[in-house]
Amino acid sequence: MGLEPLRAGIGMTGSFCTFAEIFGSLEKMKLACPQIDYTFVLSYHVQQLRSRFGAPEDFILRARGLSSRAPVVTLPQAEPLGPKNLLDIFVIAPCTGNTLAKLAAGITDTPVLMAAKGHLRNGKPLLVLLASNDALGLNLKNIGTLLGTKNIYFVPFRQDAPESKPNSLVASTALLAPALEAALEGRQLQPVIAA
């Protein structure tokens, strides 16, 4: 993987069921390329909500173990990431339907969205690792908007449970590294709809 040295922002939002896989992929990337420098940016829900998938302090500790600095947890902490040009790529992993809709609408009310907005102003790639139960419902228009937006790329995604959750899409976490490399080259990894 030709990613080093690389300053990668990782914005985590509240699709907690995907965290184990995402952290696993980030750890593999760090093992393959030790010079990757992660900056974690955590949504308010990640910082505050306990779920059957874990506690906020566990997620923060795991993020802290992969980074040389504490996670970004407030809007004032996230705001300088763009103006100071501190990242080469920003990855929203996972990106919930709520965050997806706000990103498409230009709303900046969480640390993750503030970091994304600031990063995009530098003309650098933003990679979306989607995890949304309503992606093929009300959020489908937002996926279309973002797929057509310059410098925004998606980790290829698929329906995860078409019989029980027909509107749900989840990114293929195993494709995070190649999707990141493609985004750094200014291209969308294909096919965007994974098998």
pLDDT of 165 higher than 80: yes
**pLDDT tens track for 49-99:** 788 888 889 999 999 999 989 999 999 999 999 999 999 999 999 999 999
Question: Which two three-digit tokens encode residue 17?
Answer: 């069921």
Neighbours of 183 (CB within 10 A): 24
52, HSE (Cβ side, Cα atoms, 13 Å): 1
Question: Rounded to whole angstroms, what are the CA distances from 48 to 40, 57, 189?
Answer: 16, 9, 33
Q: What is the pLDDT of residue 49?
A: 77
Per domain, the residue ranges of the chain are: 6-184
Q: What is the pLDDT of residue 2?
A: 53
Decide if 45 contacts 75 (C-beta within 8 A): no
Decide if 73 contacts 42 (C-beta within 8 A): yes
Q: What is the pLDDT of residue 14?
A: 87
Q: What is the pLDDT of residue 4?
A: 57
Whether the bond between 191 and the residue before it is cis, its omega within 30 degrees of 0, is yes
Whether the bond between 94 and the residue before it is cis, its omega within 30 degrees of 0, is yes
Q: What average pLDDT score do residues 36-43 get?
A: 97
Classify 152 as helix, strand or coil.
strand
Q: What is the pLDDT of residue 195?
A: 75
d(CA 59, CA 86): 23
Question: Which two three-digit tokens encode residue 81?
Answer: 């990431």
pLDDT of 3 higher than 70: no
Q: CATH: 3.10.129.10, 3.40.50.1950, 3.40.720.10, 3.20.80.10. Which one for 6-184?
A: 3.40.50.1950
Say what percent of the chain tops pLDDT 70.
98
pLDDT of 123 higher than 90: yes
**pLDDT tens track for 96-115:** 999 999 999 999 999 999 99
Per-residue confidence band for 31, with pLDDT thresholds at 50, 70 and 90: very high
pLDDT of 23 higher than 70: yes
Classify 136 as helix, strand or coil.
coil
Q: What is the pLDDT of residue 110?
A: 97
Helix (H) / strand (E) element for 145: namely helix 140-147
d(CA 177, CA 25): 8
